[in-house]
Structure 1
Amino acid sequence: MALLGKDRIEYKTNAEMLQIRKAALIVAQIHRELAAAVRPGITTAELDAIALQVLRSNGAKSNFFGYYDYPAQTCISVNDTVVHGIPGAQTLAPGDIVSLDCGAVLHGWHGDACFTAVVPGGDEKKRKERERLSRITRTAMWHGIAAMATGKYVRDIGSAIDDYVMTLSPEIRPDIVLDFIGHGIGTRMHQAPDVMNYRTRGKSPRLKPGMVLCIEPILTAGKQDNYTLADGWTVKTKDGSDACHWEHEVALHDRGIWVLSAPDGGAQELAQFGIVPVLPGQ
């Protein structure tokens, strides 16, 4: 591993990427178990406890817990909560949209990824609107991931996300949250470079082998303007509109990319872009 450049990006070897993959796949396991558990009546604290059980069974720890005194293992954000929802007594209701952001640290290497689920039941029209928001956000993420494989600069990831969202008709087009972005990851959860979810100009680091990035668009059904509650963590949309968050952890190496937090490396989703992911070192 080398720290190069004035922005101090941490470039990983292929062997180090495979170590990070172990942490990222624990996050993927957490996602599977949480997805199976999401239902009306379950509390966000109960979901958090499931994540802790998975972490312990794998000999890992949450990289969220204690981070700037964050009090839980996961961030669980429901409906108009944009990010950093603290698990607690809140009970999921039919039709809720819930983003579950999870992390793991194993042998000093960090995994971080998020998925969104819509709770079964509730008003059909509202539920379908929320399912569409989740589908759009997830698709935006994959456009960003594809750009990591085909682009020249880190800013190309945000441009790809922005360009996709702008192809949507105005009546269904979500707003891109500007205040929360993706990031590098490795021996720390948040590292250089910043990974914007929108088109930017100016200097941007060149995409180089050895980078591991978290690509995580966050979209809102209404306006993206937001505020933070008194707990110092929970971020809400100002207009009360729904929010959605998807995230994957992606490695770039000398033969291509590999989505570390996807068991198949992203093969199924990247096929639509003509991209075949390659495991580092192969």
Structure 2
Amino acid sequence: MIRTKEELAKMRKAGRVVAEIHEKTREAIRPGVTTLEIDKVAREVLEKRGARSNFLNYHGFPAVICTSPNSMIVHGIPGKYRLQEGDIISIDAGAIVEGYHGDAAYTAAVGKVSKLAEQLIEVTERSLYAGIDVMWPGRHLHEVGRAVQEVCEKAGFSVVREYVGHGIGTAMHEPPNVPNYWPGSPGPKMRAGNVFAVEPMVNVGGPETVQLSDGWSVVTKDGSLSAHFEHTIAVTEEGPEIFTAP
């Protein structure tokens, strides 16, 4: 879908709220803090900015952010889990402003972490920006996934297949999907005014996933660490514009 200038302006506003949620939740991450306390920080930002959560009550999801530590890939429910020194945790957050959505995620270290965890975080974030770099009018959408996959697999990591990026606008998830790997076809050509959420999920071990009994939390099948980064990006004639950038 091609968004108008007016629509893009509203999506920038939503993106700024998500960026602020990231900033404030990063400040809250430390050993001893529960994931529910981090969710409370995000709620305070949404309330202060007059924005709505696009996560809360989405198919029954009970929180405004997803908190996914260590081997949990995505969709972790904030609760009593207390962060420990050496953990890594992904925070996925969204916001709705004037009917338009923003969506972004990051993975952070809790105190001092292993060299492997540091590398995983660095590679996953770098893979996101490698994907963003190809988001120009006339390029094919699946080139994004090929760029992501190349960075991750060169480092010896694997890319999750079951969960992918997506279009975004007046709904959080809109077609088309944005794979984080090369699916075997180039996909549609990107056009100025397209907006996508690109979100590589990268595992130290294999790419296989398991959903837990809570119906939400997704973990690596082999128990290996996983990291997740995401931005909401508009395709423009001047190149990619990241709405959720800090």
Larger Rg: 1
Identity of aligned residues (%): 40
- SS of 1:141's equivalent in the other structure is helix
The CA deviation string for residues 13-66 of structure 1, in whole angstroms up to 9 with x for no partner, is: 122112101001100000001111100000000000000000000001110001
Q: Provide the alpha-carbon RMSD of the alignment.
A: 1.2
TM-score for the superposition, normalised by structure 1 = 0.85
The CA deviation string for residues 220-246 of structure 1, in whole angstroms up to 9 with x for no partner, is: 111121111111101111111111000
The CA deviation string for residues 75-118 of structure 1, in whole angstroms up to 9 with x for no partner, is: 00000101000000000000101000000001100010001101
1:183 is the counterpart of 2:174:
no
CA distance in 2, matches of 1:202, 1:190: 22
Q: Is the 8 A contact 1:118 1:127 kept in 2?
A: no
Q: Is the 8 A contact 1:27 1:103 kept in 2?
A: yes
Q: Provide the residue aligned with 2:54 in structure 1.
A: 63
1:32 is the counterpart of 2:19:
no
1:166 is the counterpart of 2:149:
no
Q: Provide the residue aligned with 1:267 in structure 2.
A: none
1:110–1:195 Cα change, 3 Å: same
CA distance in 1, matches of 2:236, 2:4: 8
- SS of 2:96's equivalent in the other structure is strand
Q: Provide the residue aligned with 2:80 in structure 1.
A: 89
CA distance in 1, matches of 2:238, 2:3: 14
1:234 is the counterpart of 2:217:
yes
Q: Provide the residue aligned with 1:129 in structure 2.
A: 116
Q: Provide the residue aligned with 1:278 in structure 2.
A: none
Query: In the alignment, which of 194, 203, 206 is matched to residue 177 of structure 2?
Result: 194
Q: Is the 8 A contact 2:137 2:191 kept in 1?
A: no
Q: Provide the residue aligned with 2:231 in structure 1.
A: 248
Query: What 5-or-longer segments of structure 2 have no aligned partner?
Result: none
- Where does 1:94-173 land on structure 2 (aligned, <5 Å)? 94-121=85-112, 127-149=114-136, 152-168=139-155, 173=156
Q: CA deviation at 1:151?
A: 6.3
CA distance in 1, matches of 2:168, 2:65: 17
Q: Provide the residue aligned with 2:6 in structure 1.
A: 15
The CA deviation string for residues 122-168 of structure 1, in whole angstroms up to 9 with x for no partner, is: xxxx5221111000000000000001137611011011111222333
Question: Amino acid of the residue matched to residue 233 of structure 1?
Answer: W
Deviating above 4 A after TM superposition, structure 1's stretches of 4 or more consecutive aligned residues are none
Question: Amino acid of the residue matched to residue 40 of structure 1?
Answer: P
- SS of 1:11's equivalent in the other structure is coil
TM-score for the superposition, normalised by structure 2 = 0.97
How many residue pairs are counted as aligned between the two chains? Answer: 246
